[in-house]
Structure 1
Amino acid sequence: MQTFFVQIKCKLGKTYEVATALADAEIASEIYSTAGHYDILAKFHLDDAHDIGHFVGEKVQTLPGIQDTLTVITFKAF
């Protein structure tokens, strides 16, 4: 199982719409609003057989209202 986070920058005024669309898609295990360069932080779990890049490009970045993303791949939880 791969765990990774995606920071999402939304188009102006679209943060809640993006967060709702992400929740409705039921692909993220946790979704948080944040302050700073990005508006949302989402946590994902993906089977080892799946490619994170394809998943983010096809399932996350295609949601309406997203301007930019930054993916953080994790190795081990302590």
Structure 2
Amino acid sequence: MKTIFVQFKCKPGKAYQVADELVQTVEQISEVYSTSGQYDLIAKFYLDDNRDIGHFVTERLQVMDGVADTFTLVAFKPFL
């Protein structure tokens, strides 16, 4: 399993709609938070090892209605 975090910059007034759509339609999502700063949301996803991160982000997340921009971080090791 690969873990990625994606920050979302949403079109004005669309952050809650994007968050709801992520939770309802993207099975790889673990959690999503509203945030302050340059981005409106941050979401954690778990992808199968054979899943291409670039295709997942560009073809599944960036095309969602209300998404203006994304920033993707790949996580390496969790510290518990």
TM-score between both structures, scaled by the size of structure 1: 0.96
> In the alignment, is residue 61 of structure 1 matched against residue 62 of structure 2?
yes
Distance, in Å, in 1 between the alignment partners of 2:65 and 2:22 is 10
Cα RMSD of the aligned pairs, angstroms, is 0.8
Deviations 1:19-46 (A, max 9, x none): 1111111331101000000000000000
Q: Which runs of 5+ in 1 are unaligned?
A: none
* Matching residue of 1:11: 11
Under a length normalisation based on structure 2, what TM-score does the superposition of the two structures give?
0.93
How many correspondences in the alignment? 78
**Percentage of matched positions with identical amino acids:** 55
Corresponding residue of 1:70: 71
Structure 1 stretches of at least 4 aligned residues deviating more than 4 Å after TM superposition:
none
Q: Give SS of 2:70's match.
A: strand
Indicate the residue corresponding to 1:35 in structure 2. 36
Partner AA of 2:21 in structure 1: A
Partner Cα separation in structure 1 for residue 72 and residue 15 of structure 2: 18
